[in-house]
Structure 1
């Protein structure tokens, strides 16, 4: 028996939305067309953040204090940049703050950069193995008794 029409009449496409990239879309929509989100809190936040960003050929950039532009990345791009700078040919498995600073010096940015850097280095085996050790004594220090001072 051959069917002449599909058994499912209505096909529904479900698009997954990355919650980390929503901020980027909100700011881009506001800068392009002046469209604000429906939620008044998000609309106020978007209106407040938007002057720190600029659009160049449909790519979002963040302005820094010194006037340079940092490219805003999606989650996939951010993971690639984290991996390359931390483990790449010039990577030295540095800590979270220095990794975040290196990424910003390379010209990239996203909202939760420091949080992502912390999570990433905690997954790195080499960082965990060679991280600085805590050299605190196992018990409290005790003063040395001097029997004859100036002897």
Structure 2
């Protein structure tokens, strides 16, 4: 986002003024719907033009990892040493190099038992999965962690998550956790947003199913293929305690039809205590709302795109359709 902002700032000289406005989600419904379509990879409705961008439209400048500058004193020569941690293990495995100190030789032999050389590359056995992870230098590892943390697909995750993603990608170096903690500590965005309180505004309300036919989950599906009787929609109600399923085919999903469906359930199993449903127009209509208030039924609404709340409906509807 910072790169795109810099590109916009380059156009300031061509305009009399430039202002940035933050639009709330409630007032930006069209962009919110388009983002959900992109995340779900759903079919794009007619009238919406799609342009596939396989690469960023702006050039992202990669900043090399900063290293402390060492200024030599006058009359002194600088000796650049090879700090690659793989060199000791490669010399021990390939050249069978030994050390004068027995403890150091024993320590390196115990450490090299977890590594294997394939060609000229060093790999390490994974203790959990048994696969081989490619051993890379610390500079390459810092570059990979930076890419995972804050580049194109980065989500500014914590140090433990960064290390897990790097290991699952098949890379290993011994200072992974320390490097990940240093990247998170130096990230301005992580330090800024970590100060904000992420606790919910109110405590979660649990709805324990205490007795049968007291709490129902309600949903609708359609339009489906028209059958005899002009039925194209389905109402589904599930008892949260016994998982008993009630299904009814209807021709239209109106608030009056939902009230009739609940009234049929009431005649068979009694008046429920509460009903959980989504924010569909048929469940928020005045006729259904008035019916629930007259019957002393509490209404609770869940998110429309909540996957855990809709997974059970999808399984039931597929079985009913078959």
Paired residues in the alignment total: 122
Instruction: List, as ranges, runs of 4+ consecutive aligned residues in structure 1 with deviation greater than 3 Å.
Output: 12-15, 132-136
Alignment match, 1:43: 105
CA distance in 2, matches of 1:37, 1:120: 36
CA distance in 1, matches of 2:176, 2:100: 27
Q: 1:132 to 1:53 in 2, by over 3 A?
A: farther
Shift in Å, 1:135: 7.5
> Based on CA coordinates, which of the two structures has the bigger radius of gyration?
2
Shift in Å, 1:134: 5.7
Shift in Å, 1:129: 1.6
Q: Secondary structure at the match of 2:113?
A: helix
Q: Find 2:82's aligned residue among 14, 17, 26.
A: 17
What are the Cα deviations for residues 35-62 of structure 1, in whole angstroms up to 9, with x where unaligned? 1334333211110011211111211111
- State the structure with bigger RCO (CA 8 A, min sep 6), 1 or 2: 1
Q: Secondary structure at the match of 1:60?
A: strand
Q: State the TM-score, normalized to the length of structure 1.
A: 0.72
Q: 1:135 to 1:78 in 2, by over 3 A?
A: closer
Q: Find 2:187's aligned residue among 124, 127, 136.
A: 124
Q: Secondary structure at the match of 1:70?
A: strand
Alignment match, 1:110: 173
Q: 1:32 to 1:125 in 2, by over 3 A?
A: same
Q: Find 1:84's aligned residue among 147, 162, 178.
A: 147
- Return 5+ residue gaps in structure 2 as ranges: 1-76, 200-322
Q: Is the 8 A contact 1:60 1:71 kept in 2?
A: yes
Shift in Å, 1:88: 1.9
Alignment match, 2:88: 26
RMSD: 2.2
What are the Cα deviations for residues 93-124 of structure 1, in whole angstroms up to 9, with x where unaligned? 00111111111011111111111111111001
Q: Is the 8 A contact 2:138 2:175 kept in 1?
A: no
CA distance in 1, matches of 2:179, 2:78: 30
The structure richer in helix per residue is: 1
What are the Cα deviations for residues 2-42 of structure 1, in whole angstroms up to 9, with x where unaligned? xxxxxxxxxx8833232xx24x2111111112113343332
